[in-house]
């Protein structure tokens, strides 16, 4: 299981990942990983998660970048003390990889910043590094 935590300007992003064997097919080079994200506002000002940018790297160094509005069809606004959780998934063609990225956050006064998503591992259990 992969894990990461990063805090940027009061926005904490925690991620855990796991291998999903029932959706994977190793003989066809398909390895499926689920990840759960919790975005918490530990700061003093509200912020809205407007866009996402993921950088996905497989074990052979192939990189895929994913950009899009919000997460799971939402652009949650978090008041101080609030959090938002969601689960998503990522297929890879290798049994190991990693993900990292940023969420573009907007303050109510229009200020924008990139909240870091620290790197976390995508690993099929029992693979050799």
Whether residue 129 has pLDDT greater than 90: no
* Beta carbons of 54 and 4 less than 8 angstroms apart: no
DSSP symbols for 68-125: EESBTTB--EE-TT-EEEEEEEEEESSSEEEEEEEEEEEETTS-EEEEEEEEEEEE-T
Q: What is the DSSP letter of 10?
A: T
In the chain, how long is the greatest CA-to-CA distance? 52
Q: Report whether pLDDT(1) > 80.
A: no
Q: Domains plus CATH for the chain?
A: 2-123 (2.60.40.1470)
* Per-residue pLDDT tens digits for 64-89: 999 999 999 999 999 999 999 999 99
Least Cα distance to 39 among 16, 15, 72, 17 occurs for 15
pLDDT of residue 126: 79
pLDDT in tens, 92-125: 999 999 999 999 999 999 999 999 999 999 999 9
Residues forming a β-bridge with 117: 101
């Amino acid at each position: 299981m992969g894990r990461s935590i990063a805090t940027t300007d009061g926005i904490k992003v925690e991620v855990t990942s796991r291998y999903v064997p029932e959706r994977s097919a190793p003989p066809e080079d398909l390895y499926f990983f689920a990840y759960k994200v919790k975005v918490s506002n530990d700061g003093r000002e509200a912020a809205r998660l407007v866009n996402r940018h993921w950088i996905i790297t497989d074990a052979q160094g192939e990189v895929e970048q994913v950009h899009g509005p919000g997460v799971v069809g939402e652009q949650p606004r978090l008041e101080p003390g609030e959090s938002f959780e969601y689960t998503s998934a990522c297929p890879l063609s290798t049994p190991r990889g990693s993900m990292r990225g940023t969420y573009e956050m907007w303050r109510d006064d229009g200020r924008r910043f990139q909240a870091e998503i620290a790197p976390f591992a995508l690993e099929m259990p029992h693979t050799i590094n």
